[in-house]
Amino acid sequence: MPQEKLGVAIHGAGWVAHAHARSWLKNPHAQIVLVSDVDPDRARRLLEDVGADCAVRDRYEDVLTDPAVDVVDICSPSHLHAEHGIAAARAGKHLQVEKPVALTLEDNRALRDAVAKAGVKSQASFVLRWNPMIETLKSLLTAGAIGKLFYVEVDYWHAIKPTHHAWNLHSRRATAGSTMLLAGCHAVDAARWLAGDEVVEVTAYANNVKGNFEYEANVVALFKFAGGIIGKVSALFDCEMPYAFNVDLAGTEGTLRDNRVWSKPLFPRQNDWAVVPAVLPTSSDVNHHPFDGEINHLVDCILQNRESHCNLADAYRSHELCLAIDRSIAAGGRPIRLPLGSE
């Protein structure tokens, strides 16, 4: 008998949920069975937009008690992600959680531990891991195209305004967290993913030139990895330019700069950059993000009973690093040791 489709509930019907829904609809092994939001009309608009038809709920409790729901895709406001994720895990539901998955170290730990205790499959929505350029870079690193990696640099530059969807004028810190938690976490996660190692020390500085945000809008952080790699991550909200996600990787036998390759092993007589024809992460539009690959990966992990490389145990590390960056900023650039609690 063919396996029944996984029943998916999308919780939170905002901007990003529309993109998630389109990707869920493409997967032959999953079916959206429910959309929930505190505003049921917003949930109905999502269904109309993506051309789907299913139940609508305005109480999260009804999502968790519905036996048709196997997976909860959490797209609620950032400050509720951990609470909703913990509840889903305790209800025995597999879960995907939009980033940031938590805004405090305590919530980050609680979510990680709840998922581990429940034994459900999980995934954080660090969607750029499935971007074709990032996949190509990871493949080239694994193949030894630039020898031993010794430097990683990733930048998230995006002129986010206070009207951004994750911004709340009445309770800014509670809902947004910080520049790194709100958006720079993509760069932090990409640095960890590409390095294939964990950061053991971070030093960070920041400023807030335009004063648009209650927290520091522009951040630069220097990393020391356990295996000796050094790195830098930056996130700029005050920049005036199109969205950019820059990646530079230096190794003993070559260098990767976005989709450009300089490799002695691959091209021993190279005299100019080789360019890989890949889709670059050049847009902040959620419809440009590779949610198809992300969601297909989670479905495969559930059906094959294996863990995602981007599960909530792994995402814990990226969020812990973001929180360490914020601690360093608050301490005037003092180096912070990781894991947190070891300083």
**pLDDT tens by residue, 289-314:** 999 999 999 999 999 999 999 999 99
Residue 343 within any structural domain of the chain:
no
Name the CA dihedral angle for 30, 32, 36, 42, rounded to a multiple of 10 degrees: 130
pLDDT at 30 over 50: yes
Assign 177 a pLDDT band (cuts: 50, 70, 90): confident
Tell me, yes or no, whether 81 and 142 share the same domain.
Answer: no
Same domain, 133 and 223: yes
Angle 181-337-312 from CA coordinates, rounded to 5°: 45
Q: What is the band of 286 on the pLDDT scale with cuts at 50, 70, 90? A: confident
DSSP 197-248: S-EEEEEEEEE-SS--SSS-SEEEEEEEETTS-EEEEEEESS--SS-EEEEE
Q: Which residues pair with 263 in a beta bridge?
A: 254
Going by pLDDT thresholds of 50, 70 and 90, the confidence category of residue 287 is: confident
**Number of compact structural domains in the chain:** 2
Do residues 226 and 159 both lie within one domain? yes
Q: Does 144 have pLDDT greater than 60? A: yes
pLDDT value, residue 303:
98
Q: Is residue 295 in some structural domain?
A: yes
In a domain, 267, yes or no: yes
Could you list the residue range(s) of the whole structural domain that residue 116 is in?
6-125+291-306
Instruction: Say whether both 141 and 269 belong to one domain.
Output: yes
Same domain, 117 and 142: no
Q: Do 179 and 109 fall within a single domain? A: no
* CA dihedral sign, ordered 21, 26, 27, 29: positive
The total of other beta-carbon atoms located within 10 Å of residue 67's CB is 6
Tokens representing residue 88 in the block: 């889903």
pLDDT value of residue 167:
47
**Do both 163 and 274 map to the same domain?**
yes
Query: Is the Cβ–Cβ distance between 187 and 223 less than 8 Å?
Result: no
Q: Is there a single domain that holds both residue 87 and residue 137?
A: no
| Structural tokens at position 337 | 């040791």
Is 333 contained in some domain? yes
Phi, psi angles (nearest 5°) of residue 218: -125, 125
| Range name among 71-85, 169-183, 233-247 with the lowest pLDDT average | 169-183
* Averaged confidence pLDDT in the chain: 94
**Domain check: are 297 and 285 in the same one?**
no
pLDDT digits 0-9 by tens, 217-262: 999 999 999 999 999 999 999 999 999 999 999 999 999 999 999 9
Same domain assignment for residues 111 and 221 = no
Domain annotation covers residue 314: no
Contact present, 226 and 147 (Cβ < 8 Å): no
- CATH number for the domain including 299? 3.40.50.720
How is 100-144 classified by DSSP, letter by letter?
PS-SSHHHHHHHHHHHHHHT--EEE--GGGGSHHHHHHHHHHHTT
Average pLDDT over residues 61-75: 98
pTM of the prediction? Answer: 0.95
Does residue 216 belong to any structural domain of this protein? Answer: yes
pLDDT band at 212 (very low <50, low <70, confident <90, very high): confident
Is residue 54 scored above 90 in pLDDT? yes
Question: Do 177 and 236 belong together in one domain?
Answer: yes
Residue 232 sits in a domain of what CATH number?
Answer: 3.30.360.10
**Residue 171 confidence (pLDDT) above 60:** no
Does one domain contain both 118 and 144? no
Is 342 within the bounds of a domain? no
Residue 207 within any structural domain of the chain: yes
